[in-house]
Amino acid sequence: MRLLNLSVLLFPLASVVQALTWTATPFNPASIPLAVRTPYLSAWLPQGTGAALNDVWAEFWDGIIVGWAGFVKVDGVPYVFLGAPAVPSVSFNKATQISFKFTSTQSIFVLAAGPVDLTVTFLSPVEPTDLVKQSIPFSYMTVSAASNDGGSHSVQVYSDLSGEWTSGDETLTVNWTSTTSGSILTHQVQLTNPTLFGEVNDHTQYGSAFYSTPNTVGATYQTGADINVRAQFISNGVLANTLDTDFRAINDNWPVFGLAHNLGTVTSAASSPVVYSVGRIRDPAIEYIIAGGAIQNRTLYFLSEFSTPAAVIAEFLDDYSAALTRANTFDAQVQTDASAISADYAAVVALSIRQALAGIEITISKTSTGAFNTSDILVFLKEISSDGNVNTVDVIFPAWSVFLYTNPALGKYLLEPLFRYQASGQYPNKWSVHDIGAIYPKALGHNDGLDEAMPVEESGNMVIMALSYAQKSGDTAQLKQYSALLDQWTQFLIADSLIPENQISTDDFAGALANQTNLAIKGIVGIGAMSKIWSLLGNAAQSANYSSIATSYVTQWQNFATSTTGAHLTLNYNNESSWGLSYNLFGDKLLGLGLFPASVYAEQTEWYASHANEFGLILDTRHTYTKTDWQLLTASWVTTTAVRDVLVTAVTDWVSGGTWNGPLGDLYDTVSGGPVSGLEFRARPVVGGHLALVRHFFRTGYRSDVRFFAQLVV
Ligand SMILES: *[C@@H]1O[C@H](CO)[C@@H](O)[C@H](O)[C@H]1NC(C)=O
Ligand SMILES: *[C@@H]1O[C@H](CO)[C@@H](O)[C@H](O)[C@H]1NC(C)=O
Ligand SMILES: *[C@@H]1O[C@H](CO)[C@@H](O)[C@H](O)[C@H]1NC(C)=O
Ligand SMILES: *[C@@H]1O[C@H](CO)[C@@H](O)[C@H](O)[C@H]1NC(C)=O
Ligand SMILES: *[C@@H]1O[C@H](CO)[C@@H](O)[C@H](O)[C@H]1NC(C)=O
Ligand SMILES: *[C@@H]1O[C@H](CO)[C@@H](O)[C@H](O)[C@H]1NC(C)=O
């Protein structure tokens, strides 16, 4: 990661701590995922200490508004339930939020609109074992209504999107088309001058946004200026079925794209839900460097099954009730697995899953005849917020647990573009590359070798993750194919991980140091991992050699890295009072290497027991901040439940503390419990690491029988 332009990243902090007037289950996160499925479909409710669904506008992860409005009429009385629209010409009421609940896939709001309760459900499917479904960049919003006074009431529902879903620059011109006949109503919006593979303020600058709903009896549509389209519904309860063709800038009389339904008479039985889908399609999705510097366009996997946007939208809407059933099953399984640790932990995990999987996109290429090659699957990940790098190795590493849990094959497909690029011989360094592209979605490599150098960090990460995938899957093909690269990186680790030169680790923001204790662990675990890899590949001699090197390094490392008091490991060698989170011991446990003696785990646990700040354990003694992912990776190996729970509680308190309103941030301050000014990491896929404790992972030593949620799908 490398910090780029922070000016767009400064969130206003919630200024007033107010008592919630609704119930929140399991808690109120700083920002609530609404439509969160890809790096570019990422709409959140910035909630802070208590903003209702109709108090504020939805925002893209970086804080830019994405206009999404909703109104309902009950017996002719209008209420707003979504967004913060102003409609000067007419008056309307505000529905009252009664409850909010989130699961791994859903954010569910109940609002009272007079005598009717509305249930508004935002479902962002998590379909990790179905690569077609997982790659569909769409989310659902559904609205159902039920009488809350025993009477019968007439109900109409309206919602719209603005052009803000097409660009990070609201002064740009958009055009739009609407499908107004057939079984589905769809509005499609795009920039009139798109930039292929371009971004502005982290929004994509090409492709289209889609807003759709089934064309059931009484459904109506309208496009036009926000205040006109909304006033039409507020006054009449139906839209005019008219289309505005005066294409203009996003912020020029704000064109909005409205869709309305008549629910008819609603009683105390909940009505069947009105279903809306919101999506963001672009094609090609990724450009990727291949052998000889050639560039390959890559397409989202689902387009191999659906030849048009209309086809995928029809399937997505038609699939809603089955998708909801699958989502409920997934949510329940996650809840069961994570509750084995604690209710707090289960809540953090539930909040992390959509965000983690929304960091990735699943792609395929085309053959020379132009046909899709569905055997050629590569997954791309955007680092998000700290940077826009593509497939950052030290972001995939912390996120790894979510892939192991949901579908380890996603891990293989994330490593593959890194392997393939470096096997092409274009990357000049002897250690592993940091990422395969400075700015998503341009995976153009670093043929100049000038990527952000994290030599020990990334070399260790690659070897560790490659082995981890093979262990979980039994599939050693990737190890075989790239054994030369893996060995090359291990040679580098042998040279530079016992006495690591002055360099940065993944925690680049904390600064460079020589002889970092935790970085040495990463490197030594990497050497131990390569020993296992050679064993799996049948090279017993090299396996034995690397095993003895790793073992001998551990002994020497203990001398260098243990404080002279013997009470703890240091941050860096010979720096007696320094210490930090030794989260890289996670790798030793994950892979079942048993390289580091039990005494190291026990001593560190004991040290941590008496050194936590109010909001958790510091990353290291240079600063008071910490990382949520590293705390929970550490929690996966500490030897007491008490220390594990200190770490879990710390993360829960930060995530639910209301000290800001950004999407789940992985970096925060252990003294204030708030974000770190200038380093407000948010919405990053690294929170996949919060799953490190699912199913007690390592509580009783390494368990090869850990059952992961999904059947492996390769
Ligand atoms: C809208 O702009 C796109 C470029 O994104 C262009 O291809 C298309 O023809 C335009 N459509 C209309 C209706 O003007
Ligand atoms: C990638 O797609 C773009 C847009 O369709 C096209 O202009 C470009 O030539 C393609 N590049 C390659 C290498 O196929
Ligand atoms: C499809 O992709 C696979 C994996 O990259 C490759 O081996 C194969 O040659 C490709 N097939 C065609 C027809 O291009
Ligand atoms: C790193 O640690 C080794 C072993 O203690 C020591 O010899 C060396 O001087 C240290 N290097 C630096 C730059 O501090
Ligand atoms: C073990 O590996 C190291 C590092 O590659 C190498 O220098 C050494 O010669 C190897 N030893 C044997 C016995 O193969
Ligand atoms: C020792 O650790 C402290 C943090 O505890 C750090 O600020 C300092 O730079 C380190 N000193 C050296 C010489 O590395």
pLDDT in tens, 626-640: 999 999 999 999 999
Distances (CA, A) of 265 to 75, 170, 361: 9, 40, 42
Element (H, E) at 74: strand 68-74
Residue 658 · residue 14 · CB < 8 Å = yes
Structure tokens at 65: 């508004």
Distances (CA, A) of 246 to 114, 179, 180, 386: 37, 17, 18, 39
State pLDDT tens for residues 120-130: 999 999 999 99
Distances (CA, A) of 470 to 7, 367, 432, 706: 42, 28, 19, 15
pLDDT at 670: 98
Rg, Å, the chain Cα set:
26
Closest Cα partner for 418 from 397, 399, 439, 392? 392
State pLDDT tens for residues 556-601: 999 999 999 989 999 999 999 999 999 999 999 999 999 999 999 9
How many C-beta neighbours within 10 Å does residue 597 have? 12
Closest Cα partner for 52 from 95, 15, 92, 10? 95
| Residue owning tokens 């020497």 | 556
pLDDT at 707: 39
Tell me the C-alpha distance between 273 and 318, whole Å.
13
Ligand nearest to the CA of 577: 6
Rounded mean pLDDT of the chain? 94
Give the angle subtended at the CA of 699 by the CAs of 694 and 702, to the nearest 5°: 90
State pLDDT tens for residues 286-306: 999 999 999 999 999 999 999
Tell me the C-alpha distance between 313 and 184, whole Å.
8
Which residue is closest in CA terms to ligand 4's atom 4?
A: 560
Q: How far is the CA of 545 from the centre of ligand 5 (A)?
A: 6
Tell me the C-alpha distance between 106 and 330, whole Å.
11
Answer whether residue 11 shows pLDDT above 60: no
Q: How far is the CA of 297 from the centre of ligand 2 (A)?
A: 6
State pLDDT tens for residues 363-374: 999 999 999 999
pLDDT at 702: 32
Task: Please tell me whether the peptide bond between 500 and the residue prior to it is cis, using omega within 30 degrees of 0.
Answer: no
State pLDDT tens for residues 31-78: 999 999 999 999 999 999 899 999 999 999 999 999 999 999 999 999
Dihedral Cα 125, 681, 605, 568, nearest 10 deg: 150
Answer whether residue 6 shows pLDDT above 60: no
Closest ligand 4 atom to 514 CA: 13
pLDDT at 144: 98
Angle between helices 343-357 and 320-339 (to 10 degrees): 140
pLDDT at 70: 99
Which residue is closest in CA terms to ligand 3's atom 7?
A: 376
Closest ligand 2 atom to 294 CA: 13
Tell me the C-alpha distance between 91 and 385, whole Å.
39
Which residue is closest in CA terms to ligand 1's atom 4?
A: 192
Ligand nearest to the CA of 172: 1
Closest Cα partner for 397 from 484, 532, 506? 506
Length of the chain: 714
Residue 194 · residue 206 · CB < 8 Å = yes
Tell me the C-alpha distance between 93 and 79, whole Å.
4
Which residue is closest in CA terms to ligand 1's atom 2?
A: 192
Q: How far is the CA of 374 from the centre of ligand 3 (A)?
A: 8
Alpha carbon 225 to its chain's center: 33
Between strands 93-94 and 77-82, the pairing is: parallel
Closest ligand 1 atom to 191 CA: 5
Ligand nearest to the CA of 574: 4
pLDDT at 335: 94
Query: Please, what is the end-to-end C-alpha distance for the chain in angstroms?
Result: 29
